[in-house]
Copies of this chain bind each other. A is one copy, B any other.
């Protein structure tokens, strides 16, 4: 078991109707709010109006139109500009992980005199950030309970994970009913994203009975509840459990004390969605089983056996490589069964830029130091197998 230093300062207010707490949460943080959101779904479900009504005594500025795989330019830069011009006190992110991730970069950029890209690339360590509150509308990334965000810069094909303890939200308001209208495609992609968060932490050299059991429960919960959400989008219990299981995803609570894994699938997927702007969860679902197959070896097989037996109920009496193969197959089949396109070609990616992407990942993501190290040729092979 590894040493660790852990603190999550985020308050979770969870359940039906918790939006009513919003004024009480915002009041101590200031009067001037930057309200950030995406393409307008919060207007369709009435959440935008509800927020405006609850916060009628505050001074609200808006940054709408934040896209999936949120962009440095214009979203982050526009947000920082508003914060500086209007002397914003607090950011209220209403949406999913992309809105949150973008808001985190804005929060840090707002308190920095230079180019916010310096912070995102760790050229400069942020000294302060605006407080962030969020109202979540999508169960997926766990950004509502972590200190990171991922920002894309189109012109350089960069998609960078930016992590700093200053970026934990002060409070996340999690009402599962706001996810009732999430499409089947996004529900499935959210499930795949959250499953991959757990898988990234599970496959490592050193874990515990406690963490393994917690993560296995998380994976089983996601599979069972995602299916229920797809069958009945207004199944409150399923939406609620899926939301909480996703919320823990990147918070470290699933794996405190585990040895680092390197998060290889995320490292590879960042290139896919940076170059092709695909849905992050779909990219992860496509890569994950191919990565598993690629790294399966005498050194890694025991983790696959545990995963296969405890998550998928595979017969522990089988040969260990047979269990591993079945576990990888079961992972693939599950993603396929919830409607995820399982080939890169289906999401518009062909072989033309695979080597360019593999080179980019190898140069930037440090996967040569992952639990199962990946060099440029490994990454290219995984991409090719995913076509």
Q: List residues of chain A with CB under 8 Å of any chain B CB.
A: 1-18, 176, 208-214, 216-218, 220-221, 224-225, 236-237, 240-241, 244-245, 253, 256-257
Contacts of A217 in B (CB 8 A): 209-214, 216-217
Contact of B1 with A12 in the complex, beta carbons under 8 Å: no
Contacts of A218 in B (CB 8 A): 210, 213
Contact of B14 with A257 in the complex, beta carbons under 8 Å: yes
Contact of A14 with B8 in the complex, beta carbons under 8 Å: no
Contact of A221 with B216 in the complex, beta carbons under 8 Å: no
| Given known A-B contacts A214-B213, A217-B209, A224-B209, A14 and B9 have beta carbons under 8 A apart | no
Number of identical protomers: 2
**Of the residues B210, B240, B256, contact of A1 by C-beta under 8 Å:** B240
| Given known A-B contacts A5-B11, A5-B13, A257 and B245 have beta carbons under 8 A apart | no
Contacts of A3 in B (CB 8 A): 14-18
Q: Taking the nearest CB of chain B, how far is it from the CB of A15, in angstroms?
A: 3
Contact of B14 with A4 in the complex, beta carbons under 8 Å: yes
Q: Taking the nearest CB of chain B, how far is it from the CB of A239, in angstroms?
A: 9
Contact of A213 with B216 in the complex, beta carbons under 8 Å: yes
Contact of B213 with A225 in the complex, beta carbons under 8 Å: no
| Given known A-B contacts A7-B10, A7-B11, A244 and B210 have beta carbons under 8 A apart | yes
Contact of A244 with B8 in the complex, beta carbons under 8 Å: no
Q: Taking the nearest CB of chain B, how far is it from the CB of A135, in angstroms?
A: 15
| Given known A-B contacts A14-B257, A256-B14, A241 and B8 have beta carbons under 8 A apart | no
Q: Taking the nearest CB of chain B, how far is it from the CB of A149, in angstroms?
A: 21
19 additional contacts (CB under 8 A) given A1-B240, A6-B12, A7-B12: A1-B236, A1-B241, A1-B244, A2-B15, A5-B12, A9-B9, A12-B256, A14-B256, A208-B241, A209-B220, A209-B221, A209-B225, A210-B218, A210-B245, A213-B221, A214-B214, A217-B217, A241-B257, A253-B253
